[in-house]
A and B are shown apart, each in its own frame.
Chain A
Amino acid sequence: MDTTDRKLRAILADVLGLSHDQVAEFTADTGLFGDLPELDSMAVAGLLTEMEDRLDIVIDEDEIDGEVFETYGSLLAFTQAKRDAA
């Protein structure tokens, strides 16, 4: 598991109140926004701010659409692309 993947899972564990074992079971197809009722707009906003802090990336609001947060795979791909570009 590479650094981005590991850190992203740790942030999701903190936001969703899950154990590290539970987030380790997330696959690329695990549904997020829309599948997890607790992941509302405020939680997603907190998640974005935390991703910026812990992953050293800057996220523009207009980059964020529902598809980015649709699954763990899409969020990881988005994050990895941001880090590669940084």
Chain B
Amino acid sequence: MKPASYPCPLPGGAAGHEYALTFDFSRKCRVLIAPALFDEGHKLRRFTAEVMRRLNGAEIDCFLPDLPGLNESEQDLALIEPEDWRMALEAAARHFGATHVLALRGGGLVLPGKLGGWHYAPVKGASLFKTMLRARIIASREAGHEETLDALMEQGLAMGLELAGYSLSGEMLRQMGELVPGKQPGITVIDHELLGGGPLWLRAEPDEDRAQADALAAIIAVGVNA
């Protein structure tokens, strides 16, 4: 697995570079990974890398790009909207010559157009935010001050909001909150139940699960050759 980068369009028409982890041996099948978002991205990162190792073992190239504002990106997340992520994934797909896409969780809400592939454990944008809003309310309550879901959301839409350490713009909250999975042709949904075991994005501490990584990689490996 090697670190690489790809040219990534930025808000306002600028261009930058973002990192990507890659297994690139110029093979025929080339899978772009649309990573899980926010906190789930961290919880699933190890799992994602383990799936990539297995795809590599099955003679499939794969690419895990950083999205602007997340992971190692130096871009200010507060300036990013979902469309920027979709454009970043499109740029990564072009740069790496992807033949398929594998989206995990919220990554499937910003799929690049045209590529067929898979969406593991789809989630609504609103559900991602609801969990993050709740985490903030619970933490605030522990600290001795009360916040409510409605008031936080109203404030967030007007002037942005920090949730679980992520600075989200009003536009990010509004647009992402309206995104629902499952409208793209050529994308097969892989429900978590197919993998077995407990969902890794739920874990309080990030963890891995070999059997789940085996199962997801096997579905992709069979699928790319179908």
Contacts and interface: CB of A to CB of B under 8 A. Distances in A.
A41 B135 contact: yes
Contacts of A57: none
A16 interface: yes
A19 to B, nearest CB: 10
Contacts of A28: none
Interface string A31-43: 0000010111111
B42 to A, nearest CB: 10
Interface in B121-141: 127, 130-139, 141
B95 interface: no
B202 interface: yes
A68 B138 CA distance: 12
A50 interface: yes
A42 B126 CA distance: 16
Interface in A31-86: 36, 38-50, 61-62, 64-66
Contacts of A38: 204-205
Contacts of B39: 42
A44 B135 CA distance: 7
A42 B142 contact: no
B186 interface: no
Interface string A1-41: 00000000000011111000000000000000000101111
A34 to B, nearest CB: 10
A46 B207 contact: no
Contacts of A40: 204
A66 to B, nearest CB: 7
A42 B205 CA distance: 10
B211 interface: no
A68 B99 CA distance: 49
Nearest to B205: A38
B205 to A, nearest CB: 5
Interface string B74-101: 0000000000000000000000000000
A62 B131 CA distance: 15
Q: Interface centre among B134, B139, B164, by most A CB within 10 Å?
A: B134
B182 interface: no
A36 B204 CA distance: 10
A48 B134 contact: yes
A15 B135 contact: no
Contacts of B164: 42
Contacts of A49: 127, 130-131, 134
Contacts of B203: 14-17, 43
Contact of A45 (B131, B148, B198): B131
B204 A15 contact: yes
Given A14-B198, A15-B203, A40-B204, 11 more contacts: A15-B198, A15-B202, A17-B207, A41-B139, A42-B164, A43-B204, A45-B132, A46-B204, A49-B130, A61-B148, A65-B141
